[in-house]
Structure 1
């Protein structure tokens, strides 16, 4: 590599793009208002301090198209901001260390909305998830992106209150009908193994007709099949206005948000949530 080629490779504009704006008169670092055009077409307009993004700013991604308008601290999103993702979804709320953290509202492309608490980029704490198509909602306690306890309010006015697993009612809970009738019970799910016979092979005879190969016993192959979950009632009662009000008052139980050991391990290994959403945030 020639000296000229080496200087070109080390050219800050080639690595960081073209910057126009304020600089510290002593250190020469970016400071105050500035605008940076990156080589990939991204643009940042906002405040700098000690050479990095600090304060109010606007970052626009060219490919994929996305935009963040909000506060930066030491080059990362911090405090209040609005992030619009490539798929059209949008987060309006608080950030910490570059991730969704604190109170915030996430609106999905299909119109679904989550309003509530976040931690480390995931739904975590108390929150409400509105499902637009079904005109229903989940109100409850979320842990690492999943609802674990709360209320599922159904379109017709009935609701389920209890525990959740994998985004659906599970383990134990209670269904309350519109007329106030209440059914308490638990979910049961079984995995059964069934055997299905293998079709006999057919072979052509001398006359050209197909003939099934004779076998002493039909061969079987095993297929695992998960049956539908069943809700097993254990009790019936009549709800009162007081019990209905209590059902919809959600408070976090001490220790409820602690992650199970296997989830803590995944977190330690740097498991990312919703990678497609975060892809645009690589600045």
Structure 2
């Protein structure tokens, strides 16, 4: 019969001592032991039960919990299986936490100490060194969001040197303090941005704060010529951020909506309205609408003009193709951006109007304003209803219909316009426009890095571009022709 009274023993005895198998209830009745005894002491295999439901089952040596065993804590639901010393978790073992976590590794007097593998309740995994139950020393951690860190730890915080591989592709290698970037470090952001320099509390010390277009506020060029724009990123002190590379910048042009002639509105402004593009605010106190740009090259590629990305997500550049006979550049030209497949390629095309910053600088070479045909384009039909019940053309449909309309654009011009352009080719019956009209245009450089570095884009930079009429016999003829087609625009912008 098992012992039940406090201080009672029921079992084998030898030489008046508990020896062999027996059950003992301690005087305070909180503990009860059943198992092997030797010379009056717990020795061998046994089970120590606690009144709250907790217990230890395993090896005993000379009355002490020592060796391999299993410990269960009723208050927490945790269990430990492994080595013990004087009743403490000591040596190698596995502890399973009630919340789903698990630790397998080394213990020292009841605490995680040495090398081990910890999986917490969120599924995060740490493998490395521990001290006083905390991650301490070298170790690797896989976070629940997929990020991976390998490096130095001090009391559960990343501190020292380490490398972080983020799930989105971003990689940081350098110094850490208080669990964040601190000291010298290099980051390759998933967007392509690279920063190599000093960090303070998770932020780069020399980070860019603004985009600056170099040169005077108003840049003058001759009608039909190109210009190279040099751009640099600057910090709060106005210093070039040479530690930064990779930001994706876009250059675009615009003109005040109120200064467009009816002909330009038909060819550009209406089209932009149909694609959903709204006027853009500039730093000069007025709004402008996009105007096509081109790059001038020495190749033979036919010129094309490009409108900035359309739609809220800015998925691509939608090209507005110019009929071959309407543009005859002296040295050939290349469009800014791409169309067609570019709708799904986002900003992969970095030629022309796109540049990635290198050591804080970017250069947009041989940029020129694209000429627009003077004749109105056929109206683009819509295929999707808008809020007012009318239809709004999709980007794809607009691109297809504009391309098709180029074959018949000459048939829709008025007799007055045709008379002013007798030099056009009879085979295409197109008006000949060789350069953008004189006047003032807005040049804007803005960041399109995706996703944004540090969660935000730099504010855009603006510059006024003043296009001066060509001089000489040829230039006067072109200026006269432009006045006939764009009288309101020239009167407002150039003052001729």
Which blocks of at least 5 consecutive residues in structure 2 are unaligned? Answer: 1-5, 9-24, 208-241, 247-496
Partner of 2:28: 14
Partner of 2:114: 102
**Structure 1 residues 7 and 76: CA distance shift in structure 2, 3 A:** closer
Task: Give the 3-state SS of the residue equivalent to 2:76 in structure 1.
Answer: coil
**Structure 1 residues 83 and 173: CA distance shift in structure 2, 3 A:** same
Shift of 1:237: 7.7
Distance 2:132 2:80 in 1: 18
1:124 to 127, 136, 140: 136
**Structure 1 residues 116 and 7: CA distance shift in structure 2, 3 A:** closer
Give the alignment of 1:1-283 within 5 angstroms.
12=26, 14-25=28-39, 28-132=40-144, 134-148=145-159, 149-177=161-189, 182-188=194-200, 229-233=203-207, 235=243
- Greater strand fraction, Structure 1 or Structure 2: 1
Post-superposition CA distance 1:239-259 (Å, at most 9, x none): xxxxxxxxxxxxxxxxxxxxx
The number of residues matched between the two structures is: 191
Task: Give the 3-state SS of the residue equivalent to 1:109 in structure 2.
Answer: coil
Distance 1:68 1:105 in 2: 14
Distance 1:150 1:188 in 2: 15
Which blocks of at least 5 consecutive residues in structure 1 are unaligned? Answer: 1-5, 190-227, 239-283
Whether the 8 Å contact between 2:137 and 2:154 is mirrored in structure 1 is: yes
RMSD: 2.8
Whether the 8 Å contact between 2:197 and 2:204 is mirrored in structure 1 is: no
Task: Give the 3-state SS of the residue equivalent to 1:232 in structure 2.
Answer: coil
Moved more, 161-170 or 36-45: 161-170
Distance 2:114 2:245 in 1: 39
Post-superposition CA distance 1:1-57 (Å, at most 9, x none): xxxxx989xx725354211111122xx111110011111110111001121210110
TM superposition score normalised by structure 1: 0.60
Post-superposition CA distance 1:115-168 (Å, at most 9, x none): 111122211111011112x21111101122211120111113331111222222
Distance 2:151 2:84 in 1: 31
**Structure 1 residues 231 and 135: CA distance shift in structure 2, 3 A:** farther
Distance 2:29 2:182 in 1: 52
Shift of 1:64: 2.0
Task: Give the 3-state SS of the residue equivalent to 1:14 in structure 2.
Answer: coil
TM superposition score normalised by structure 2: 0.36
Whether the 8 Å contact between 2:7 and 2:27 is mirrored in structure 1 is: no
Higher relative contact order (CA 8 A, sep 6+): 2
Moved more, 67-76 or 180-189: 180-189
